[in-house]
Amino acid sequence: MNNNAEFWASVNGIITDGFTSEGLQKLDSYAEQFISGRLVYQRFSPREQHGCAAGGATNVIASLLAGAKTGTDSEHQAAISDFKRECQLGAQQEAVIEKWAKRVYCWYENVEQFLEVSFGYRLAEGGEAIVYDHGSTLIKSIGLDYFIQPIFALDRISLHNTYFPETTMTVLGFGRTAEGDFKVIVEQPFIEGSHVSDEEIAVFAQKMGFDLINPKNWTFATPEIYLSDLHDENVIRSKEGNIFVVDCDIRINTPELKCGGKRFLNTEVEFCNY
């Protein structure tokens, strides 16, 4: 396989065939090539692709499956401005990931009940995530409230791992709530510490190269990355004095976000022979 069209035709064939054993083997092979860097996913920079790989093979395969259901470039641009189209794409991505996840046994029906039975009562609950205590790690059930399309929620995990590797999120699987809401289940290191002030967070972000865009919703940006929701409940200072970001809204910064973004979304791939 040498080009982008052949790759996506192969992935769509795997989907159409219903994730046969042969198809699952191909997906595992693509994930291995992605992780090793032989399959280059141009949606991400090399560093961001490493962040996606850090989320595990489950994160990689789900990201590729979602990428197969983003429509053409013109349709994708329409999806950004057309809420109905975005919901349609989101539903297609959910369905494909769900079907695959069921085949590889990383799908959980009534996911919140499953997590409560497995890990006990909820430790915390935020805008789109529910957190469970797992000793040295946390288990999070992340919804699509901020994203609609799973591909953007998966981007968020990959970008978080890129910029905040000390609190890397590993994707364990997927599920739905009793109400039918799609969820991504991740595991993340538990960091014990104290809150950080807004002023200290701003200095921390600016040292990373981010400009403060809107202090009212803790939004920062570079031309490449949009970073928001960076408030004192999502940033922790450890006992040693180090600052850790445990949660945030992080995205590829496109012009549509109106924060000086210069990137455009695509799902092109290429193969490196070495």
Report the amino acid identity of residue 270. Answer: E
Mean pLDDT of 202-221: 94
For residue 76, the model assigns a pLDDT of 46
pLDDT tens sequence across 150-192: 999 999 999 999 999 999 999 999 999 999 999 999 999 999 8
**Closest to 46 in 3D by CA, of 54, 189, 116:** 54
DSSP state of 166: G
Structural tokens at position 217: 């919703």
Instruction: For residue 242, give the nearest of 208, 205, 207, 194 by alpha carbon.
Output: 194
Distance CA 229, CA 213 (A): 12
Q: What's the whole-number mean pLDDT along residues 202-213?
A: 96
Please name which of 14, 17, 34 lies closest in space to residue 25, comparing C-alpha atoms: 14
Residue 267 pLDDT exceeds 50 = yes
Q: Quick check: 10 pLDDT over 70?
A: yes
Q: Nearest to residue 100, comparing CAs of 171, 177, 188? A: 171
Mean pLDDT of the chain, nearest integer: 92
pTM of the model: 0.93
| Class of the CATH-defined domain 107-189 | alpha beta
Q: Strands (DSSP E) along the chain, which ranges?
A: 39-41, 107-108, 122-125, 129-134, 137-142, 170-176, 182-189, 193-195, 211-214, 219-221, 225-228, 235-238, 243-245, 249-252, 269-271
Task: Report, as an integer, the average pLDDT of 226-232.
Answer: 93
Q: Tokens 């789900």 identify what position?
A: 62
**Residue 65: its H or E element:** helix 57-67
Name every residue whose Cβ is closer than 8 Å to that of residue 95 and which is 6 or more positions away in sequence: none
Q: What is the pLDDT of residue 223?
A: 97
pLDDT, position 75: 45
| pLDDT more than 90, % of the chain | 81
Name 199's Cβ contacts closer than 8 Å, sequence gap at least 6.
none
Q: Where are the domains of the chain?
A: 4-105, 107-189, 193-257
Q: How much is the pLDDT for 73?
A: 45
* pLDDT recorded at residue 274: 61
Looking at the predicted structure, is the pLDDT value of residue 2 above 80? Answer: no
What pLDDT does 262 receive? 96
What integer pLDDT is reported at residue 103 of this predicted model?
98
**Better-scored residue on pLDDT, 3 or 252:** 252
Looking at the chain, the whole-number percentage of residues with pLDDT higher than 70 is 95
Looking at per-residue confidence, does 263 or 272 come out higher? 263
Residue 125 pLDDT level (bands cut at 50, 70, 90)? confident
